[in-house]
Amino acid sequence: MPMNRLLAVSFALLVCLPAVPLPALEAGAPAVPPPAVSRPSPAVFTNVTVSAGLGGLLADSYAWGDYDNDGCEDLLVKGRRLFRNSGPPGYTFSDVSKAAGLGSAYGYSVWGDYNNDGYLDFFCCGQDESQRDSLWRNNGPPGWNFTNVSVAAGGMDDGLRPSLAPAWTDYDRDGFLDIYVMNWRDAAGTCYADVLWRNNRDGTFAQTTAAAGIVDRNPVTGRPNAGMGVGCADYNNDGWPDIYAGNYLLGQNDLWHNDHDGTFTNLGDETNTSGDPDHYPLDGSGPYYGHTAGSCWGDYDNDGLLDLWVGNLAHKDTGSTQRAVICDNPMLLRNLGFPYVFEDYKERAGMPNIPDGTVQESQWRDDDTFGGAWCDFDNDGWLDLYVPEVKGYHSWAYSHLWRNDGDGTFTDVGLDAGIRVWAGIGCAWADYNNDGQPDHITEGTYPYQGPRECHLFKNEGTKNHWLKVHLSGTVSNRAGIGARVTVTDGARAQIREVEGGTGGHAHQNSLTQMFGFGAYTGTVTVEIRWPSGIVQNITGVLLDQTINVVEDGSGPKILSLTSTGQTPAEGEEVTLAATFTGSPSRFLWDLEGDGRFDLVRNSYQPVTVSMPRPGRFYPSLKVMDAAGKLGDWESLYIVATDVPPTANAGGDRTANETEPTTFDGSASTGAACDVPNLTYKWTFNDGWTTGWQPSPLAVRSFNQSGAYSATLSVRDDENGTSNDTIAVTVLNLPPTVAISMGDLAVEDTPLQFDGSGSDTGPDRPFLRYQWDFGDGTERSPVLVGPGWKHTYTRSGVYGATLTVTDDDKATASASIDITVANLPPSGTVEFPSVRTDEDSPLTLTGTGTDTPSDIGTLAFRWDLGDGNTTDWMPDPTTVHTYTRSGNYTAVLFVRDNDGATANATMDVSVRNLPPTCTATTGDQRADEDAEVLFDGTGRDTPTDARSLLYRWDFGDGNQSGWSPEAPASHSYAQQGLYRGALVVRDDDGAESRAGFEVTVDNLPPVARAKASRTTVDEDTPVVFNASGSSDTPSDLGSLSFSWDFGDGKAGRGPAAEHSYTKQRTYSVVLTVTDNDGATSTAELTVRASNVAPTVNVSADRARGPVGTRFNFSAEARDTESDIRTMKYEWRFGDLSTGTGQNTSRVYEAPGNYTVSVKVTDDEGASAEASLTVEVYKEAGPPAPAGEEPPVALIAVGAAAAVLAAVVTSRLMAKRGGRAVREQAEADQAER
């Protein structure tokens, strides 16, 4: 292979790669969004069909493959036409069909290296009865031609049965490609079953369809389906390829689950991939599914799980045929992960379905998608989808390029990208010009209503980064078909599987896997899981290149992975064990097959796991070498069986008619994992049932006696059931009776007797009733109902009994005591209410009624409501005088000869006359707190005048108490005009008022001020006191005090404290104000004197060598107000100065320096302090020529210090003067 055509990477040379890379994204883990990148404009395509040498080509089957191993994608068209890619620089195609010997081939074809010789062969389907299926062997160099080996390979021509789609797959993982063929129907409409060919590894194939358990049968017709598309992929991540067969003519689609033993099980319904079953509304036939023309696998949401696009020709007519009801729409089936079921996300993903009954261009607007092909065309890290659409030449029958928006939704950019084609079928992706940008080939009309032909669209590309991975198997099949490639860029992982055919009919994307990364520019990790199970990791891979990976089987190898049971019961424990070669150092166990590693160990030991529920499990083991580069992977297929529950109805029961009886099935048992979800159903042989319910209890009543049976059914959540039946004996019950009536009656008044009887359902209609009234009269007749009337003629207490009898002569009785009462009389008054004045005579009268026998014996009596009553009398009229005002209730009592009474009331209102009064002292004037005298008179009727009471309201909120005497006195606490009143009240509470005015004058306060001292230092508190001030007693407590301290500050209260911060004489003024606003002032003088500051100085060291920084600090003391404004002036002894409380100095010459500081307060008072520091010159290298060498001091202790000072002073005399001046000047400039 020319090295300039394909970059080859041999894993045998990758021995220095970093150890143990990050594992690939586990299946089912949430997809991690890519790093935030600005999405460039969508890739734009250019139709280069003619310039590339493919102009005028009409075909609907395309398969990309490098048949001559020159690193460039060649094109196989419908099995008959082979176009070789010329490579750079032009990348044009030339028809080599004749030279390659393809003259007799025709049909849908796919590439695969069936004999593992390194040269791509292809299988071709015979499309109709005139064409046979054929296998074409690539003879390799130098001729690169092909030979039809169908007969030699085992008669793979399949007897002229029409076929529409083949797909290569190594279903038994023996390293050799097998092939699945979708058969179609002939001209007579006869459909033919699909065929599975197993590679015998010797160049021949054996048909193993039946042995593999594949039965292609339509459930409605009972005959084979009309197959149109097939795709193989590992949808459940168990390492074994599964097969998805898409069927036309409303048949169900089949998902053939690989059972790891050479057989398959159809899990289409279980995984929700068979389609939507509908029944035909006109005749009820069915179920019907869809017209599936093809499908394709791809992980569009980057969650490590392969999703499935299913292209259906969805008819939308709602006319006489009603096909819209039974035709499936196209489906985007999202893989929901373990236990690997799918859900249609198409509309949620932004791909709308055409509504049923849509008409466009005078025709039903169908949704006729024909397969599809996944590819990340814009290299942004998310798989996009191209979907062709057929249906003649209608404007709406165009293809869609669904760009993945990275959030679970898609946008159709086909028109903007320039790749929209009408009425197309075939499509496939490949990077034919090796520029890293996926190109596309399809067929149809372009533009709309143009000629129908092949179209090659060149991807003009984006700035996004990419990587291509080409595989060459050694233990696995040479083409790497079925291998899974995972590329991780740190933020996310993307997966691809090498396909052996896909789409509608048969199409084939490039065998080289293409990945996009958007703006990401770092390195990536590539993991390959080969069909053999071998795992290879390569880290640090740079982007924007193609790498070739050759399968390396030199790493650790799993020889066997076994389980102690292949079909354990739920809850049962199984032990997983493995044998292996090599020296694996890492063991990763996925115990259920959900794509997540449950155990990661650095040494091997068997694993015991309990089956958590019934179902399919795929426990797996991945082993890796110490470097994390090479390893192996293997899985098991375990079907955990359901343990049905055991029903326990609790034993035979005896019950009474109509009584609720509880049946308890809680003693039923099941597998531990099923018990919380068990459901129960009780069924009785009389037809009564609870239906399925979560409770094991049933409560029911039996209406008839007899023998019954009760069956308890228990069901677990896998629909496993168990039944237990018990006998139930129901006993008869006698009737019951109850009396439902009052126990009171009245003489000569008919009384309604009533009650009720109860019995079981069958007995209730035959119950009979009879009353015994207990008064010696005859009983009631035998009654059908319990109601009857009876009249008692005399008062008293009577015992009445009701007896009920059922048709079995069983009886029950109930009794009640009836009290018969006399009817009392009634009375009325002539007027319900009357008015009168005190001491005026009033006539009161009324009437009485009763039964005719009692009316002549009635007697009357009045209770007049004021303490007076009349005697019993035959006349209801009387005269009475009320002496006090008020409201009275007069009661007329009526009594019959049996002593029964009644009464009626009359409201009597007696009116009072109010008193009058005069304030005889009139208006007055007085000072605050002076006594004021008041007097007045009151008048009323003679009887009330003796009881008059007087009260004075003084007008200031105060009142006198009520008194029989009028005179009173009062003093006012505050100046003002007060309006008061004399109030007079009689014994009935009637009042009158007479007003007056009092004018009250205020007296001002007197202010007096004192100070605790009149001569003080700054910041020394002075206490001021106004306690000598005075006023009237009523004002004294309300006086307010304000102080003006003479320095612009003020205070309040009878006592105040103040400090002066400045030296001077202050005039202090006290102002006293009473509650009437009158004021008085007093003044005194205070002299404040300044206090001079003091200061201490300190340094962080007493001595140090030249160049040392000395830190100085001054501690000043003064009054609080002065210390904040203190000024500091420093002299460092070398002509330099400084400011601030803390400062520092670096001396450049040795010597003793006197450092002083002066502090000055804001009134000019000051203080000084000083200290001396010693600066010495440390010993150094010999002095340069012409300079006096430094003196070496070989002394210790005090002598050394003295000697250093002497030497330093001499050096300063010689050189230091200038240095001191320069330092002083520098310090001055810095300041």
Give me the mean pLDDT over the 1047-1059 stretch.
92
Whether the pLDDT of residue 10 is over 50: the answer is no
- For 736-821, CATH number out of 3.40.50.300, 2.70.98.40, 3.10.580.10, 2.60.40.10 equals 2.60.40.10
pLDDT digits (tens, 9 = 90+) for 926-945: 999 899 999 999 988 787 88
pLDDT digits (tens, 9 = 90+) for 242-275: 999 999 999 999 999 999 999 999 999 999 999 9
Quote the CA–CA distance of 16 and 538 in Å, as a whole number: 11
Phi and psi at residue 618, to the nearest 5°? -130, 65
Give the pLDDT band of residue 1182 (cuts 50, 70, 90). very low
- Is 461:445 a contact under the CB 8 Å cutoff? no
pLDDT digits (tens, 9 = 90+) for 1008-1044: 999 989 999 998 999 999 989 998 888 888 899 999 9
% residues pLDDT > 70 (the chain): 92
What's the CATH fold of domain 45-518?
A: Methylamine Dehydrogenase; Chain H (2.130.10)
Query: How confident is the model at residue 918, as a pLDDT?
Result: 94
Query: How confident is the model at residue 16, as a pLDDT?
Result: 29
Residues of the chain within CATH 2.130.10.10 domain(s) are 45-518
List the one residue out of 404, 240, 287 whose CA is nearest residue 334: 404
Quote the CA–CA distance of 1156 and 1114 in Å, as a whole number: 10
Query: How confident is the model at residue 594, as a pLDDT?
Result: 92
* Of 36-50, 858-872, 1183-1197, the least confident: 1183-1197
Q: What's the half-sphere exposure (Cβ side, CA atoms, 13 Å) at 474?
A: 12
Which amino acid is it at 826? S
What's the CATH fold of domain 1090-1231?
A: Immunoglobulin-like (2.60.40)
Give the pLDDT band of residue 659 (cuts 50, 70, 90). confident
Residues of the chain within CATH 2.60.40.10 domain(s) are 556-639, 653-731, 736-821, 826-911, 916-1001, 1010-1089, 1090-1231
The hierarchical CATH code for the domain 556-639 is 2.60.40.10
The hierarchical CATH code for the domain 916-1001 is 2.60.40.10
Going by the DSSP 8-state scheme, the letter that residue 478 receives in this structure is T
pLDDT digits (tens, 9 = 90+) for 206-227: 999 999 999 999 988 999 999 9
Query: How confident is the model at residue 766, as a pLDDT?
Result: 86
Tell me the sheet residues that pair with 917: 938
Q: Which CATH architecture has domain 1010-1089?
A: Sandwich (2.60)
Note the residue count of the chain. 1231
Whether the pLDDT of residue 17 is over 80: the answer is no
Q: Is 1196 helix (H, G, I), strand (E, B) or coil?
A: coil
Q: Which CATH architecture has domain 826-911?
A: Sandwich (2.60)
pLDDT digits (tens, 9 = 90+) for 1085-1098: 999 999 999 999 99
Quote the CA–CA distance of 844 and 178 in Å, as a whole number: 125
Quote the CA–CA distance of 1023 and 463 in Å, as a whole number: 87
Whether the pLDDT of residue 280 is over 60: the answer is yes
Quote the CA–CA distance of 1071 and 1069 in Å, as a whole number: 7
Going by the DSSP 8-state scheme, the letter that residue 690 receives in this structure is -
Query: How confident is the model at residue 1197, as a pLDDT?
Result: 35
Query: How confident is the model at residue 734, as a pLDDT?
Result: 87
Query: How confident is the model at residue 131, as a pLDDT?
Result: 85
On average, the pLDDT of the chain sits at 89
The hierarchical CATH code for the domain 653-731 is 2.60.40.10
For the purposes of burial, counting CB atoms within 10 Å of the CB of 872, is it exposed (0-12), middle (13-18) or buried (19 or more)?
Answer: exposed
